[in-house]
Amino acid sequence: MKNFSTVVTRAVAAALVACVVAGPVQAAECSFKPNAPDQHRVVKGDTLWDISGAFLEHPWCWPQVWGMNREEIRNPHWIYPGQIVYFDRVHGRLSLTKPGSDDGGGAPVLRLSPQVRSEGLERGAIDAIPASVIEPYLTQPLVVEKDALAGAPRIAASQEGHLYLGTGDRVYVRGDLQGATEFQVFRPGAPLRDPQTGALLAHEAAYVGTVKLVKAAAPGVDVHTMTVSNSVSEMGVGDRLLPAPPPAVRNYVPHAPQSPVDARVMSIYAGVSYAGQSQVVTVNRGSIDGLDVGSVLQLYHFGKTVADPEGKRGFLGIGRAKMKLPDEQYGSLFIFRVFGRVSYGLIMQVTAPVEVGDVAKSPE
């Protein structure tokens, strides 16, 4: 099962247990594979995406198949290695109960009731995605939108004029803290421009550490006093501050965007030219365009315009008529962090390398 792509959190692994509320599959895009197995034993290293991919043509659409809404999935019932997932072919659903072993082939319905939401993960439940893959993108400001740069506080001076700073060093920050006391420090990097319009949407940002307020600027003093609480890279004068973000939402529920989205791959993290499965890219669409956490987009190589070998020649017999080739779908992208105009996506199943400029749009 490890050859399948992996993304989602343990919280949504709950859907597998509660899937029995669903009826037969109706939507073509959420159909079961013709060669779907009768059962699968959950092993360590499996994910819900893995398991769904063994049974379904498109593993991301399991909430639709199982009839679960997002609020229900937030209240999890966990699955563990050693349990068996059965394909109930008669009822067109998945279950942890063997078909025919309960109520003439039915499966027990789990009634979910309101409860306090917890971000904790049940010990021993199957992993959804290795935390190391996307954790930096959830907790660090690796994309800073252009409007945030103008007003971001900055390190203006350091203790005793140190050129570079480390944990425990004192720094002096100038700018409006807006009531925050703990900050992440970043260094603005390459601009992120819309591949379609050329407009500047954001900047990449190199995360260098965190600082904590010691004393706010007193009357007649221009800077706030802070100390470096953590440093992952050398910090220096000119680096920018953003308030530490709230805990990231990790209850991912894959779904098609609520409105049609036609995006382009804007950058590949680490500045490489090509990306593959389980790598991270940015796209030039965000919350104002209808994307939210859990949105799934299909990846396409943009169809080229080529000369028609049998087309009519142009003016004065020069050149051939052009024809547009279709966009070729080759994979999917799971959106896991969303800004106003930019989003991070994790590359899922792909049959070809991902390139900057590739199309990422709503599933058809």
Residue 330 C-beta-side C-alpha neighbours within 13 Å: 18
Q: Which pLDDT belongs to residue 84?
A: 86
Degrees to nearest 5, angle at CA 138 with 135 and 140: 95
The predicted-structure confidence for 29-50, as pLDDT tens digits, reads as follows: 678 888 989 888 988 877 777 7
82 has pLDDT over 90: no
- Burial label, 39 (beta-carbon count in 10 A; 0-12, 13-18, 19+): middle
Rounded alpha-carbon distances, angstroms, from residue 127 to 70, 251, 252, 273: 19, 13, 13, 30
The predicted-structure confidence for 143-184, as pLDDT tens digits, reads as follows: 777 777 677 899 999 877 677 788 889 999 999 999 999 999
Q: Which pLDDT belongs to residue 312?
A: 67
| CATH code of the region 262-361 | 2.40.10
The pTM for the full model equals: 0.66
Report the chain's terminal Cα–Cα distance, integer Å: 27
The predicted-structure confidence for 298-342, as pLDDT tens digits, reads as follows: 999 978 888 887 766 655 556 667 888 888 899 989 888 888 899
Domain boundaries, the chain: 10-130, 142-243, 262-361
The predicted-structure confidence for 256-273, as pLDDT tens digits, reads as follows: 888 899 999 998 876 778
Average pLDDT over residues 186-203: 86
Task: Calculate what percentage of the chain has a pLDDT beyond 90.
Answer: 22
Q: Which pLDDT belongs to residue 216?
A: 95
Beta bridge partners of 207: 186
Q: Residue 226's closest CA among 237, 239, 215?
A: 215
* Separation between Cα atoms, residue 52 and residue 325, nearest integer Å: 33
